Amino acid sequence: MAIAIIGGLVASGWNPSDITVVDPNADRREKLRVQHRVHTTVDVASATEADIIVLAVKPQIIATVAEQIGADLSNKLIISIAAGVTIATLEGLFGPVAIARTMPNTPALIGLVATGLYVNDHTTEVQAAAAQAIIKAFGICVAVEREDLLDAVTAVSGSGPAYYFLMIEEMIRAGTALDLTPEDAKALTLQTALGAATMTASGEEPEGLRAGVTSPNGTTHAAIVSMQDSGFGKVVAKAMTACRDRALELGRA
């Protein structure tokens, strides 16, 4: 995710010299330095020199990172993308400082991130605007009114790309089973997914678009009825609830 954020920021026009990446992996540091021309270091404490610190780390190592930073972060803004790690936990580790929680998804790499953002009471309007500006540099950002809604955001958009990837996988597999070549099934599926997403992005409601291509008793109608009879909606709802619940578990860990 960190690579996606860095790539998105640089692609959107951020000056690479304004970005410093802390990573213990030498190969990743070198790759980022060459690919994006950003500063790289292994020194976690050096992050405190920045006005904005992005914690793009796994939830399990947040406490370790806080110990390694070990500095007063007053007047700094911390942006955390660690799933499930609450504001209360972050304040316990870093103190009463400005903190923004968000959960970008991997399309950040191509400037199409979709995420939510929640800031704590110590965050000024200027800092909140800065956090949103960073996210909006590579997609859309929805400010939520309650912190717990971030777990729902994770279920919808944080993990959402994988749902679509799985649907694409299964459509390619099914098309091949219907005697298309794997290459043709893939080409048709990908273009169809792109077309459907683009049409939906135009502003028309998905229900209306679906109705527009679903003639009564036609071929599409047969497919939609089969999906609905198989509990497609329930499968999606159950999966997203499981995702939300896992985010809650990570937050309590």
Q: How confident is the model at residue 37 (pLDDT cuts 50, 70, 90)?
A: very high
Closest of 58, 61, 77, 74 to residue 119, by C-alpha = 77
pLDDT of 250 reads 75
Percent of the chain residues past pLDDT 90, beyond the cut: 71
How many other CB atoms sit within 10 Å of the CB of residue 99? 29
pLDDT of 224 reads 97
- Range 66-71 contact pairs with CB under 8 angstroms and sequence separation of 24 or more: 66/93, 66/94, 68/44, 69/44, 69/45, 69/94, 70/45, 71/45
* Rounded (5°) CA angle 151-158-74: 70
Length of the chain: 253
**pLDDT tens-place string over residues 110-133:** 889 899 999 999 999 999 999 998
**pLDDT tens-place string over residues 59-104:** 889 999 999 988 889 889 999 998 778 999 999 999 999 999 998 8
Cα separation of 95 and 10, whole Å? 30
Strand, coil or helix: 20: strand
Q: In the chain, what are the domains?
A: 2-154 (3.40.50.720), 160-252 (1.10.3730.10)
Radius of gyration of the chain (CA): 21
**pLDDT tens-place string over residues 228-240:** 999 999 999 999 9
Residue 40, phi then psi, degrees to nearest 5: -130, 150
Cα separation of 135 and 113, whole Å? 8
pLDDT tops 90 at residue 138: no
pLDDT of 3 reads 82
